[in-house]
A and B are shown apart, each in its own frame.
Chain A
């Protein structure tokens, strides 16, 4: 078995999502699904219900009037948005761990992911674009492959960083050279294993290689840029550092220039305290 095959096989051993989320995913895959059913499934899990309501009622996610039940949230925000917040709540616990291979102390992967998600949404807002519903969640999950590589496999970053320095490669190119697979691809494989929607898997899969993506996708461009902004803040950045390349084409497609990026960066830092509190 090659190193690549070994790593991708390992993905299948990662613990599954909470059962309420798995059921909700299955339900939403069915076009004729009853949305009242979605609320019923989630309400079986009180912790999850409380967390989803906390997000739904936060000013960051647009809560104007207090929503007290999941049924009301589904009616008011739509099943799509509630589903996105549900995934975010379900996946967060596994993003709190220490990620040894990437030099990330406990909590730092989540920290970086939250910054990325806020940044992706902020870029859209600053540019007057409507971010697709799944943008925030896809951004939040964009680094999840590091859990497999850094925690389960405890990958040694030294030879990867050595190639980054000697050959001037980006970190994901160096990962591919050493391991046969990069953390973005591993992350997409994990989300696929969890049967998350294709729209989210797609963004995670191509986030670092937007130019090679089979189709253009607004959420992908936003998450790519959100990821760049998050690295610039340095928050929750591990051993891989800032060794990634921002895509000039993605920036051009979005209409993002240096001035726009800096305005967005200032807004990200300002919004962060509120959003951090929601995910703490």
Chain B
């Protein structure tokens, strides 16, 4: 039976149960990363609030998923322990919106940049991504097929 598992802000969930749907709402400047392994049939979804744990080291200790630099690696390690491999894992990501005319903080752009750098440094590539702009997004991973969809204002499309 299909079960929808909601991933909150600064949260990560994994599943190996066929039919599970991992979903996260309201990616504003946050980034969401969906990871799926077609051989091991395991998937994970993370919703990171901020780029670097250096901004709040204590909070990073409590919850690594709050930050891109500590969260994404933790999710991948969890999936590898569940049988996923570097060679077959597929990564897709979305989010990183910024306020229109934000010349101050660029939190969304920095989240995106740190994610891209991190993945490149460790030899991963994004199979698909939808970043930037000024719109909030939802991100969903269907663990039976690996389909990833992005939802904006009630309209959904595959990533």
Judge whether A164 is part of the interface by a CB distance below 8 angstroms.
yes
| Contact of A270 (CB < 8 Å), options: B51, B59, B100 | B59
Q: List B contacts of A242 (CB < 8 A).
A: 28-29, 97-100, 134-136
Judge whether A266 is part of the interface by a CB distance below 8 angstroms.
yes
**CA of A266 to CA of B136 in the docked complex: distance in angstroms?**
18
Tell me the count of chain B residues lying within 8 A, CB to CB, of chain A.
33
Judge whether A53 is part of the interface by a CB distance below 8 angstroms.
no
* Selected interface stretch from B75-83, B102-110, B115-123: B102-110
- CB <8 Å contact, B66 and A269: yes
> B12 → chain A, closest Cβ, in Å?
14
Tell me the count of chain A residues lying within 8 A, CB to CB, of chain B.
32
- CB <8 Å contact, A103 and B98: no
- CB <8 Å contact, A266 and B101: no
With A263-B56, A266-B66: A245-B154 Cβ-Cβ less than 8 Å = no
Judge whether A237 is part of the interface by a CB distance below 8 angstroms.
yes
Judge whether A213 is part of the interface by a CB distance below 8 angstroms.
no
Interface string of A252-271 (1 = CB under 8 A from B): 00000011011101100110
Judge whether A81 is part of the interface by a CB distance below 8 angstroms.
no
Interface of B with A (CB < 8 Å)?
9-10, 25-30, 49-51, 55-56, 59, 66, 97-108, 134-137, 153-154
Interface of A with B (CB < 8 Å)?
103, 164, 168, 170-171, 228, 231-239, 241-246, 248, 251, 258-259, 261-263, 265-266, 269-270
Q: 4 tightest A-B contacts by CB?
A: A234-B28, A234-B26, A234-B136, A245-B101
